[in-house]
Amino acid sequence: MKKALFIFIGASLAIIFFMGMLPSKKSSQKTASKPTASVSSQKEAVPKEIQITGTEYAFSPNTITINRGDKVILTLRNMGTMPHNLAIEDMQVVTKTIQNGQSDQIEFIASQSGSFVYYSGVGIDRTRGMEGNLEVK
């Protein structure tokens, strides 16, 4: 009796498994469908990733160009010996102050066009030239 029950359960599971592997009629039919998103909204959905390296007393790159409306993921890597951060004052964006070998990541939307200075606000970093330019078109 137990043997017959195990065979029945095994056969049932095999049938269910193989039925799930077969393509459905719906997926095999070719039908015209409307696009779910426009090209511009797809572009906006993909974040622009920017890597910035900070050392004494410079950022690399020191000029970045993005488009208005871009979602930005900015990663600051401190390759210097002293602590640094990155601030874009006009956009109210600031990373944590990080030590040598550390990194910090921030996300923001470039909601306004223009030219914006980014700088390290730690100590006298900015007065020593640790700044760059963010162009938002």
Flag whether the pTM goes above 0.75: no
**The predicted structure's pLDDT at residue 11:** 60
**The predicted structure's pLDDT at residue 4:** 63
* Rounded Cα gap, residues 70 and 92, in angstroms: 16
Two tokens at 77? 């890597």
DSSP state of 82: S
Q: Out of 1-15, 62-76, 81-95, 102-116, which region has the weakest mean confidence (pLDDT)?
A: 1-15
CATH superfamily membership of 39-136: Cupredoxins -  blue copper proteins (2.60.40.420)
* Rounded Cα gap, residues 76 and 60, in angstroms: 10
pLDDT, average across residues 84-99: 96
Domain ranges of the chain: 39-136
